[in-house]
Amino acid sequence: MKVAPSRQARDNAPTFGASAKSAVAKRKPLAARKSISLLPVVAGFLAVLIMVASGAIVYIKHRQTRQRVERESQLQQQKSETAGMMPTARSPETAAAPAPQPSATPSVEASSSEAIPSPSEPALSAVTSLGELVVSTDPDGTEVKIDGRGQPDWRTPFTAAAVPPGPHTVTFNKSGYVGETRVVEVRAGSPAFLRVSMKVMTPTATASIGSDPVGAAILVDGKEIAQVTPAQVVLNRGAHSIALRKAGFQEAATDVDLQEGQIYSFAPTLKPLDLANAKDTRPNFFARLFGGGGDKIPVEMHTTPPGAEILVNGQPYSKTTPAKIALPPGEYQITFQLQDYKPLQKTLVVQKGSAIQMQETLQK
């Protein structure tokens, strides 16, 4: 006979369904707690990853910036060296060889022939924008200067590398030869060639020429030079004739054989012209017989129309044209005057030699 449990026993007795529900209720809070504990770990891992990535990006940008600054600094240095234009001598064999290729890494120092640029495009452009100057002379061994700058080893044959394009002044000097100067145009990316034949310097001497009074014209070998006394005149070695002329004075002349390096002095006192004796136009019998007549040179003066008054250095002559007058060598101012005609003034240079004729036409 079954006895039914009491109500209290039923209430206190656990059931299977209730136990299962209780277990499920207890497991859910545990899973939630585990998922909540993993969130900080994942967040920390992501933070570390972001920091590492950010650091790598910053490092890459810093490195790129540093490389760019180095390239710009190297390019600026190369431009400054190019502005200074200090080319380096190269032998003809080296000049004929092809230009060296740029190195894979930037070079800090330049080679003996030309600067090696960095592999960056601006540096390559700077190199290709320069030119080359190849100079030679006959004879070799001539000192070379480019735009006034040079070095002891700059002697022909000579090649200047890394020359900026444009005109350049090149000077050549060699002992015993006359200095030469040339202007040459250099083009970018191609060599410019210049060859000069040096002229042998003629041995010279110096003539110190003066006079009393000063201001006399100087004639060397019959040709008047631009200088007047006193003057220092450089003459070639050998025989020369020197003459001095001044209006109102007799000509003074000398012959000299100059040696190399000699300093010769010629400073005579000029004698005034003796116009009173110049009026004696006819030499005496013995002078005619022996071809004499002193140092005076006969001068025949004619005018159209005739009858003009003659003035020599402002002093009137006793006769009118046509007339004959004897004058010592020198320079004279001859004036012809005739009524109703304009005065006519001429410069007459009397030299030793044959007689002189003057034929002048007067104008109204």
Six token digits for residue 212? 């009393």
* Assigned architecture for domain 92-96+114-197: Sandwich (2.60)
Domains of the chain by residue range:
92-96+114-197, 204-266, 275-361
**Element housing 128 (H / E):** helix 121-128
Asked whether 314 and 335 are in contact (CB, 8 A), the reply is yes
CA distance linking residue 315 with residue 35, whole number of Å: 141
Flag residues of the chain having pLDDT under 50: 1-3, 8-9, 13-26, 30-31, 91-124, 279-293
pLDDT at 194: 94
CA distance linking residue 148 with residue 95, whole number of Å: 23
pLDDT at 173: 93
How close are the terminal C-alpha atoms of the chain, in Å? 191
Task: Tell me the backbone φ, ψ of residue 95, rounded to 5 degrees.
Answer: -65, -30
CA distance linking residue 300 with residue 304, whole number of Å: 14
pLDDT at 145: 94
Q: What is the DSSP string of 46-88?
A: HHHHHHHHHHHHHHHHHHHHHHHHHHHHHHHHHHHHHHHT---
Query: Strand 143-146 to strand 166-173: parallel, antiparallel, or no bridges (unpaired)?
Result: antiparallel
The CATH class of the 204-266 domain is: mainly beta
The CATH class of the 275-361 domain is: mainly beta
pLDDT at 33: 53
Asked whether 304 and 362 are in contact (CB, 8 A), the reply is yes
One fold for 92-96+114-197 and 204-266: yes
* pLDDT tens-digit series, residues 290-314: 344 457 888 899 999 998 988 888 7
